[in-house]
Structures are given as structure tokens and as C-alpha cells.
């Protein structure tokens, strides 16, 4: 996902969206990749998962005020509902955010 398709992929989505902001030099981001892929399968049809390479999408990161990595945003109904960043990025916090969004 990038700045060009953000509105259609996230703001206009009928289902909630989990956005994973990651970077190729971010160790914690890379360590979370298998978990994010598992989420995509486990919650298929309930939540859309989008990955944003922050290094390639600096303008989108600035627009959304993503200042550090890893960062996860949850959107529902075109609005940001939750932001998980820094030391709060844990598998359990991500699952909790997803479950809150799909209720």
C-alpha cells in the first residue's frame, strides 16, 4: 500500500483495516512479519491487512504522523481507531486491537 491507494484501500474499505508500518532496517518489524502473515490468514474476511514500507512511503508516514517503527494502525469506517507503536507493539496488543475492530 502507498499514498496513491491509501484512500481506496483504507478510508473507503467496508471492512476494518490493520496497517503494518515496517522498514527493511527495523529488526522488530522483520521479526513480526510471520505473525502479521498469520493474522492475515486467521482473520481473512474479517479484517484487511496492509503493509507499508516506511522507507519507500515517507510522505504517507508524515501524513499519518507515523514517527517510529514498528507502528500498527487500525482503521474502521474510514477513521483511525487504534495506534500501537514502540514498546506497545506486542502480538497480544495487536490481536486485541483486531478483535475490538471486528466487533
Return the CATH number at 90: 3.40.30.10
For the chain, the domain total comes to 1
Domain of residue 77 covers 1-20+49-103
Q: Does the residue 57 lie in any domain?
A: yes
Residue 73, classed as helix, strand or coil, is: strand
Mean pLDDT of all residues in 25-49:
96
Residue 2 within a domain: yes
Question: Is residue 74 one of the residues assigned to a domain?
Answer: yes
Answer yes or no: is 43 within a domain. no
Q: Can you tell me the mean pLDDT for 19-28?
A: 97
Active site residues: 26, 29
The verdict on residue 39 lying in a domain is no
Look at residue 61 in the predicted model and tell me its pLDDT. Answer: 97
Identify the CA nearest to 61 among candidates 40, 85, 39, 77.
85
Amino acid at each position: 500500500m502507498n499514498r496513491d491507494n491509501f484512500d481506496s484501500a483504507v478510508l473507503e474499505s467496508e471492512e476494518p483495516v490493520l496497517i503494518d508500518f515496517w522498514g527493511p532496517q527495523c529488526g522488530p518489524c522483520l521479526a513480526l512479519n510471520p505473525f502479521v502473515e498469520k493474522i492475515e490468514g486467521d482473520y481473512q474476511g474479517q479484517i484487511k491487512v496492509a503493509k507499508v514500507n516506511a522507507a519507500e512511503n515517507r510522505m504517507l508516514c508524515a501524513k499519518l504522523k507515523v514517527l517510529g517503527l514498528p507502528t500498527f494502525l487500525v482503521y474502521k469506517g474510514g477513521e483511525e481507531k487504534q495506534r500501537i507503536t514502540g514498546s506497545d507493539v506486542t502480538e497480544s496488543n495487536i490481536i486485541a486491537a483486531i478483535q475490538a475492530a471486528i466487533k
